[in-house]
Amino acid sequence: MITIKTFTFNAYSENTYVLYDETKECVIIDPGMYEGVEQNELAAFIKQEGLKPVLLLNTHCHLDHVFGNKFVYETYGLKPQFHQGELPILNAVPGYAPSMGFTRYEVSPLPDTFLPETGTISFGNSELTLIFAPGHSPAHLCFYSAADHILIGGDVLFYGSIGRTDLPGGSHQQLIQNISDKLFVLPDETKVYPGHGPATSIGFEKQHNPFF
């Protein structure tokens, strides 16, 4: 059974997730640590719980979701994995980060392995299914555990809202379509852990999200 630890990091209040199960293997998703104190908080939790990080995943590569990639690589030897279509987004970060006030951005290592649009990834006794849901960014992935009824949704679907679509590679129509066709078909009880803000559920958003 997957346990989820949520951290909220950096000036954008980005949600960083650590998923682990009874084997103590863990996955770090969208590490947003920018300050040293944030890096320490993540590392202290992993050490305290006796976890073994085995995967570093990015739902997408906007700067607030990749700030901590370099730290995770240097600390745990893990290179990020994401869909290849996000590579231009990652490569653009050093060019615009300083103009947004992030002068200490540590350049992320590049993946050895890219994630496909469909398939599964495993850690410990657990499995995550890939759901390809671009619209907020060009090749955004969500990570779904059917066994645990959880979705790590990145910046696709929020509590009462959706991801912004005005950034390069974004598309409002595509985002709405992907949420309808790929997320709203999941069981209502699926708990959605978004890239920002509080968790929600598929059932709640189907009923109450003003964009639908």
Residue 152 pLDDT: 98
Give me the residue spans of the domains in the chain: 3-208
Provide the pLDDT for residue 13. 98
What pLDDT, on the 0 to 100 scale, is given for residue 123?
A: 98
* pLDDT given at position 66: 98
The whole-angstrom separation of Cα 105 and Cα 122 is 30
According to the model, what pLDDT value does residue 127 have? 98
Distance (Å, whole) CA 56 – CA 136: 21
201-207 mean pLDDT: 98
Cβ atoms 152, 202 nearer than 8 A: no
Overall size of the chain counted in residues: 212
At 70 the pLDDT is 98
pLDDT grade for 59, boundaries at 50, 70 and 90: very high
Does the domain at 3-208 match CATH 3.60.15.10? Answer given as yes
- Give the tens place of pLDDT for each residue, 89-130: 999 999 999 999 999 999 999 999 999 999 999 999 999 999
19-43 pLDDT tens trace: 999 999 999 999 999 999 999 999 9
pLDDT value at position 154?
Answer: 98
Query: What is the model's pTM?
Result: 0.98
Alpha-carbon span 6 to 120, nearest angstrom: 22
